[in-house]
């Protein structure tokens, strides 16, 4: 008798050891492609999402995460740790999508298992890089903003697709070139190569979220970009802030008009601050 996809995804999601979570996640994708799992379409838990994580890093408010110079060994490692933390959260986010929305069908499951496995690969690369600098995941404080949005959108598929992959994860498309610029200052070619891999894969991950968001909007008779703006306001989420990685966002499914809307929003905010 085949194991149930949802139970296997739950096991990986609840795993607290990062290395074991990565192993279970990659095994989950392998078993799915080998037709070794049965998709029931049923959620084997009720209530809010629960994700396993190690005791460290200490989770603090976003504005309480210390900002350090990349020109110091501590600051250099802290920057890489911050990216690793995002990737660790992204594993859980993708696993929760598989678990929570498996009734969407085999194509949905296949795509989000691929995302989960790639996030696990990213985390592994960054963990190895941290080790090379004498550190490990958990050595620096971090915030939990990505997972908090998963909790807020646990019961609304449209909001989840809009505000996790298409909003919060898409911020990585804009942030990665800025992080790379800082790493070029210290000639950290090893991490630059890892971030090239992450940026390439994240364009695809955001595009998957965009695809499902637009399809759901069409099914509900909604204009996708107007609905996106409405959900950002309803959930008090951050409007994408310039400088935008226009090329990456266009590849991921954003339209030129939507990017212009983001730019105009922040231009209006800046004008209001100037007028005060």
Instruction: Tell whether 87 and 220 lie within a shared domain.
Output: no
Instruction: Tell whether 11 and 78 lie within a shared domain.
Output: yes
Last residue of a domain, one of 116, 134, 152: 152
Three-state DSSP class for residue 261: helix
Mean pLDDT calculated for residue range 1-11:
92
Instruction: Tell whether 4 and 129 lie within a shared domain.
Output: yes
**Residue 276 above 70 pLDDT?**
no
Tell me how far apart the alpha carbons of residues 268 and 204 are, in angstroms, rounded to a whole number. 31
**Residue 203 above 80 pLDDT?**
yes
Last residue of a domain, one of 152, 167, 199: 152
pTM above 0.75? yes
Phi and psi at residue 142, to the nearest 5°: -150, 170
List the one residue out of 57, 55, 54 whose CA is nearest residue 77: 57
**Residue 133 above 80 pLDDT?**
yes
Instruction: Tell whether 130 and 181 lie within a shared domain.
Output: no
Instruction: Tell whether 177 and 247 lie within a shared domain.
Output: yes
What pLDDT score was predicted for residue 46?
A: 73
**Residue 244 above 80 pLDDT?**
yes
Last residue of a domain, one of 129, 152, 175: 152
pLDDT in tens, 158-181: 999 999 999 999 999 999 999 999
What pLDDT score was predicted for residue 39?
A: 97
Mean pLDDT calculated for residue range 68-75:
93
Q: What is the span of the domain harbouring residue 267?
A: 155-276
Q: Which range (16-25, 38-47, 96-105) has the least confidence?
A: 38-47
Long-range contacts of 71-74 (CB under 8 A, 24+ apart): 71/185, 71/186, 73/133, 73/134
Beta bridge partners of 38: 4
What is the share, in percent, of the chain residues with pLDDT greater than 90? 87
**Residue 191 above 90 pLDDT?**
yes
Q: Is 190 exposed, middle or buried (0-12, 13-18, 19+ CB in 10 A)?
A: middle
Q: Give the pLDDT band (50/70/90) at residue 44.
A: confident
Instruction: Tell whether 36 and 170 lie within a shared domain.
Output: no
Tokens at residue 248, please?
A: 């990456």
**Domains in the chain: how many in total?**
2
Instruction: Tell whether 125 and 174 lie within a shared domain.
Output: no
Instruction: Tell whether 21 and 95 lie within a shared domain.
Output: yes
The answer to whether residues 40 and 117 touch, using CB atoms and an 8 Å cutoff, is no
What pLDDT score was predicted for residue 31?
A: 97
For residue 127, what are the CA distances in angstroms to 29, 44, 74, 82, 132? 21, 31, 15, 11, 9
Rg of the chain (C-alpha set)? 19
Provide the mean pLDDT of the chain. Answer: 94
Instruction: Tell whether 204 and 141 lie within a shared domain.
Output: no
What pLDDT score was predicted for residue 273?
A: 66
Q: Which range (102-106, 212-216, 252-256, 270-274) has the least confidence?
A: 270-274
Instruction: Tell whether 6 and 142 lie within a shared domain.
Output: yes
Tell me how far apart the alpha carbons of residues 243 and 260 are, in angstroms, rounded to a whole number. 12
Instruction: Tell whether 129 and 233 lie within a shared domain.
Output: no
DSSP label at residue 235: T
Mean pLDDT calculated for residue range 257-264:
94
**Residue 275 above 70 pLDDT?**
no
What pLDDT score was predicted for residue 128?
A: 98
Instruction: Tell whether 108 and 229 lie within a shared domain.
Output: no
Q: Give the pLDDT band (50/70/90) at residue 263.
A: very high
**Residue 265 above 80 pLDDT?**
yes
How many CB atoms within 10 Å of residue 1?
4
């Amino acid at each position: 008798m085949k194991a149930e996809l949802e139970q296997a995804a739950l096991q990986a999601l609840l795993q607290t050891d990062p290395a074991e979570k990565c192993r279970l996640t990659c095994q989950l994708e392998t078993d799915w492609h080998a037709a070794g799992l049965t998709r029931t379409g049923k959620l084997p838990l009720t209530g809010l999402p629960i994700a396993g994580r190690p005791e460290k890093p200490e989770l603090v408010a976003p504005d309480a995460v210390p900002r350090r110079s990349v020109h110091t060994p501590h600051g250099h490692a802290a920057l890489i740790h911050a990216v690793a933390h995002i990737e660790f959260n992204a594993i859980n986010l993708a696993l929760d999508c598989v678990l929570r929305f498996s009734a969407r069908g085999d194509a949905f499951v296949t795509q989000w298992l691929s995302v989960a496995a790639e996030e696990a690969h990213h985390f592994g690369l960054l963990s190895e890089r941290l080790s090379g600098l004498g550190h490990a995941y958990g050595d620096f404080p971090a915030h939990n903003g990505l997972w908090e949005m998963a909790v807020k959108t646990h019961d609304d598929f449209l909001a989840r697709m809009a505000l996790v992959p298409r909003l919060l994860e898409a911020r990585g498309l804009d942030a990665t070139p800025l992080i790379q610029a800082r790493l070029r200052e210290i000639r950290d070619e090893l991490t630059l190569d890892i971030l090239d891999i992450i940026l390439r894969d994240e364009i695809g991950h955001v595009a998957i979220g965009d695809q499902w968001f637009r399809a759901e909007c069409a099914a509900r008779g909604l204009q996708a970009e107007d609905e996106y703006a409405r959900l950002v306001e309803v959930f008090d989420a951050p409007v994408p802030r310039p400088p935008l990685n226009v090329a990456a966002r266009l590849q991921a499914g954003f339209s030129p008009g939507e990017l212009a809307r983001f730019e105009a929003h922040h231009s209006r905010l800046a004008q209001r601050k100037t007028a005060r």
